[in-house]
Amino acid sequence: MNENLDKATFFPEVLQVVPTDDLQVYVYFNDGSVHLFDVKPLIKPGTVFEPLSDTTFFKDHLTVIGKTVAWDMTGDRDPYKCLDLDPFVLIDAPAVEDPLKEEFRGDLIA
């Protein structure tokens, strides 16, 4: 997060998400920062997060809805049928370099 922003009045908004093969999400915020959020600790049998344990489902249903990370569980982009995460929790995840920058692209393609 940009340290010059007033954390008391700044509301983090997710602009873009990029999934990884190991159930993590690169989250791009409106302050220009990129954070890597690990979803694995949330995925437990019998919980709403259980379907995300399937890597294909995790990647195919990941989107941005309501200015945050969401999984469109039904495919109709209904925000009431999505599984979403609090953007304040997401922005507390470790800040990382943008994996889509030219010098980091090789890691994603390999």
Which of 76-80, 91-95, 105-109 shows the lowest mean pLDDT across its residues? 105-109
The reported pTM is: 0.85
Which residues lie below 8 Å from residue 32, measured CB to CB, with a gap of 6+? 2
Per-residue confidence (pLDDT) for residue 2, from 0 to 100:
57
- CA of 80: how far to CAs of 47, 70, 73, in Å? 17, 11, 10
Which of 15-19, 78-82, 99-103 shows the lowest mean pLDDT across its residues? 99-103
Domain residue extents for the chain: 14-109
- Per the structure block, which two tokens stand in for 10? 């700044």
How far is residue 61's CA from residue 77's CA, in Å, rounded to a whole number? 10
How far is residue 84's CA from residue 27's CA, in Å, rounded to a whole number? 13
